[in-house]
Amino acid sequence: MKLESLVIDGFKSFADKTTIEFKDGMTGVVGPNGSGKSNIIEAIRWVLGEQSAKNLRGSKMPDVIFAGSTNRVSINRAEVSITFDNSDFYIQDNPEKITVTRRLFRDGNSEFMINQRQCRLKDITNLFMDTGLGKESFSIISQGRVAEIFNSKPEDRRSIIEEVAGVLKYKQEKHVAVRQ
Ligand code: ATP
Ligand code: MG
């Protein structure tokens, strides 16, 4: 399982469609302050299902849409696609390439897609649950997160271990079954 590419279009400072390809080895992103490095990480978190505008440094979700600059008018839609090479079938029962897309319009309408087919946000969350790739996963460690884990309550720390061990999915399914 490998991150292959990220396409950002109309998301935050990315007014133009921008494709980032992740080759073998390590990828570093460098640039001056305010050039959009953190926006790339936020695009990844957003497409993987982030639902909190605050976690994306905004006050409401449409804040992620390119809001215009001194020489550019604003845009009405943000779209991010992320593609994973799944040729080792790490995510079982899925094709060799998995592309997840999220789109948000200024009027609040949003769309989610897995391999160009419309789906619910829940389908994306389920796809990545227990894979270590979900929006809450530890594949993305933001500043302050390490200290937060050390200082968390025992129950919260337990859920981290459960995510790593891969039992969270079954716990959630049990929770839904018990409620029905
Ligand atoms: P630093 O090195 O300081 O961490 P950075 O490279 O991480 O900087 P970001 O925080 O990713 O930079 O980018 C901030 C820039 O993104 C700001 O110039 C801000 O105006 C711009 N920006 C954020 N949201 C939007 C938006 N919705 N529309 C247009 N520009 C936006
Ligand atoms: Mg930054």
Query: Does residue 125 share a domain with residue 155?
Result: no
Q: How far is the CA of 13 from the centre of ligand 1 (A)?
A: 6
Instruction: Please check whether residue 138 lies inside any domain of the structure.
Output: no
Query: Does residue 107 share a domain with residue 170?
Result: no
Query: Does residue 124 share a domain with residue 43?
Result: yes
Can you give the pLDDT at residue 135?
64
Q: How far is the CA of 33 from the centre of ligand 2 (A)?
A: 7
- Ligand 1: lining residues by beta carbon, under 6 Å: 12-13, 31, 33-39, 63, 65-67
Provide the whole-model pTM.
0.86
> 121-124: which pairs have CB atoms within 8 A and are 24 or more residues apart?
121/49, 121/51, 124/48, 124/49, 124/100
Query: Does residue 121 share a domain with residue 52?
Result: yes
The pair phi, psi for residue 110, each rounded to 5°, is: -135, 160
pLDDT average, residue stretch 89-112: 96
CA proximity to 13, closest of 71, 64, 70: 64
Instruction: Please check whether residue 159 lies inside any domain of the structure.
Output: yes
Query: Does residue 117 share a domain with residue 47?
Result: yes
Atom of ligand 1 lying closest to residue 42 CA: 11
Atom 18 of ligand 1 has which residue's CA nearest to it?
34
Percent of the chain having pLDDT more than 90? Answer: 71
Ligand nearest to the Cα of 16, by number: 1
Q: Domain range for residue 107?
A: 2-130
Mean pLDDT, the chain, rounded, equals 91
Query: Does residue 126 share a domain with residue 177?
Result: no
Q: Which of 39, 46, 79, 143 to probe ligand 1 with, by most ligand atoms within 8 A of CB? A: 39
User: Count of residues for the chain?
Assistant: 180
pLDDT average, residue stretch 30-50: 95
Instruction: Please check whether residue 136 lies inside any domain of the structure.
Output: no
pLDDT band at residue 89, thresholds of 50, 70 and 90? very high
CATH number at residue 36: 3.40.50.300
User: Contact 80/11 with Cβ under 8 angstroms?
Assistant: yes
pLDDT average, residue stretch 137-165: 80
Query: Does residue 76 share a domain with residue 19?
Result: yes
The DSSP result for 8-53, as a single string, is EESBTTB-S-EEEE--SS-------TTSSHHHHHHHHHHHTT---S
Residues forming a β-bridge with 5: 21, 83
Can you give the pLDDT at residue 62?
96
Can you give the pLDDT at residue 180?
87
pLDDT average, residue stretch 135-151: 76
Query: Does residue 119 share a domain with residue 54?
Result: yes
pLDDT band at residue 136, thresholds of 50, 70 and 90? low
Query: Does residue 85 share a domain with residue 46?
Result: yes
Query: Does residue 159 share a domain with residue 117?
Result: no
Residue 170 host element (H or E): helix 168-179
**Number of domains observed in the structure of the chain:** 2
DSSP label at residue 65: B
Q: Residue 99 and residue 138: Cα distance in Å, rounded?
A: 20
Query: Does residue 125 share a domain with residue 147?
Result: no
Query: Does residue 107 share a domain with residue 32?
Result: yes
User: Contact 102/93 with Cβ under 8 angstroms?
Assistant: no
pLDDT average, residue stretch 94-121: 97
**Coil vs helix vs strand at 157:** helix
The yes-or-no verdict on residue 162 having pLDDT over 70 is: yes
Q: Residue ranges for the binding site?
A: 32-39
Ligand nearest to the Cα of 30, by number: 1
User: Which range (21-35, 52-66, 89-103, 129-143) has the least confidence?
Assistant: 129-143
Q: Residue ranges for the binding site for ATP?
A: 32-39
Instruction: Please check whether residue 175 lies inside any domain of the structure.
Output: yes
Can you give the pLDDT at residue 29?
95
